[in-house]
Amino acid sequence: MPKSPAEIKAEILKLTREFSAATHAANRPGNDAKHAVFVPGQSIVPYAGRVFTEDEVEAAISSTLDFWLTLGPEGDAFENELAAFLGVKKSLLVNSGSSANLLALSALTSDKLGERHLRQGDEVITVAAGFPTTVAPIIQNGCVPVFIDNDPVTLNGRVDQLEDAFVPRKTKAVMMAHTLGNPFDLAAVTEFCQRHNLWLIEDNCDALGCRYDGKITGTFGDLSTQSFYPPHHLTMGEGGAVSVVRDMKLKVLVESFRDWGRDCWCASGKDDTCHKRFGWKLGELPEGYDHKYIYSHLGYNLKPLDPQAAIGRQQLKKLPAFIQARIDNWNHLRSALQELEEFIQFQLPTHATGWTPQGFTWDNSGHRSECSWFGFMMLVKKNAPFTRREFAQHLDAAKIGNRMLFGGNLVRQPAFVSLKKQQPNAFRVVGDLAGADRIMNEAVFIGTYPGLTPAMLDYMVATIRHFVRSR
């Protein structure tokens, strides 16, 4: 008797789990007894990477066998589960964190927002040192980024420069990232935005699970963004999300720009959600033109696939454990490298004034940050008997993954240098950006991701100690 489709699928998924367990041991959580054995000096210690088990592989294959493919039931479920985790009104899946930033900024250009919509030439305050796709959407939408400096210890924007960056009737929004899993000063930034009636976009791509005064980041602004690229806190392979924090009017706009710019809000495969599909009169189209083909914005097609969302749902279940592993790994490195403070400056959470083996010391503001660390940042001090470049090269030679703080001071990047020559007013800078330059010249980070094993952490510590002592 031939097997039923359900029986065939069950057999495929059973074999899938067996294959994954036999093949992907190096991608298991670092505290998993089944993780691949680490060989110091031979095995690579990634700065970040995919952490998964057979659960994610099974979910991807199961969804693929169903062959819906385009964003559908798994996507709907993941959007709802992510929004519930964050505590926001709605999360919308996209194909990358960079696309999420593009859509969040683009949504604010819609004339459906009335007088508050961003126009060509309006200014958006952002931060000089970071990842370029936090800033690129501002320029791509015809607005002007205004760069404030970074504090080289927290890596976040210097909020004391916000007022210097502000120009009445020209400044319309603030868009900045919680850098390397460290929340920026949300008390100061949200107060500033509220006082001047500015939009706030939180780039939360490196910071999923961070908290500020006990409240999770990505829930303070009007919109926030996530990335699900493999190095991030959870992964769909490629992928990201835009979260609508409070005002569901923004949900319709983000969806429109994500889905070709269409005016219709029907999900794929569904018709007439508004019950007046042929009852609209918009633009100069004839009355009754099919609403599914009316376009109110110049949009994109930036959706991910449903099998990716199936992977993300499994990852989301593990997110609390992933976040705790990042915290534990950062604390392990900080404690073990304490003796190197003469030559290396270590990152601090926003509002922290120092670190002791018992924990952080804090300023008098009353505010507290809880970091879901994306990496372990080190700044090579000027008095060190080695350079950042030499340090990074030594880590490379020891097969320890490391990175700069992404693009460093972005205004020094070729794209921005060229842009300034072609369009002198394309962006504006507040102050001398000395902090961003210091980060560009001195900063390097290693991993804290949940795939690090105790042996990897010990090897990283021993390698760094040996390098510094040998100098």
Residue at token pair 């210690």? 45
Res 274: pLDDT: 82
Q: Which CATH architecture is the domain 73-307 placed in?
A: 3-Layer(aba) Sandwich (3.40)
pLDDT mean by block of 10 residues, the chain; 471 residues: 94 98 98 97 97 98 96 97 98 98 98 97 98 98 98 98 98 98 98 98 98 98 98 97 98 97 82 87 93 95 98 98 98 98 98 96 98 98 97 98 98 98 98 98 98 98 97 87
66 exposure class (CB count in 10 Å sphere: 0-12, 13-18, 19+): middle
Per-residue pLDDT, 464 = 98
Fold of domain 320-470: Aspartate Aminotransferase, domain 1 (3.90.1150)
- Asked if 184 and 157 count as a contact pair (C-beta separation under 8 A), the reply is yes
> Residue 211's pLDDT is what?
98
Q: What is the pLDDT of residue 462?
A: 98
User: pLDDT at position 67, please?
Assistant: 96
What pLDDT does 107 receive? 98
- Give me the active site residues, please: 232
Question: Strand pairing partners for 241?
Answer: 93, 226
Task: Kindly list the domain boundaries of the chain, sorted by start residue.
Answer: 73-307, 320-470
Question: How many CB atoms within 10 Å of residue 277?
Answer: 16
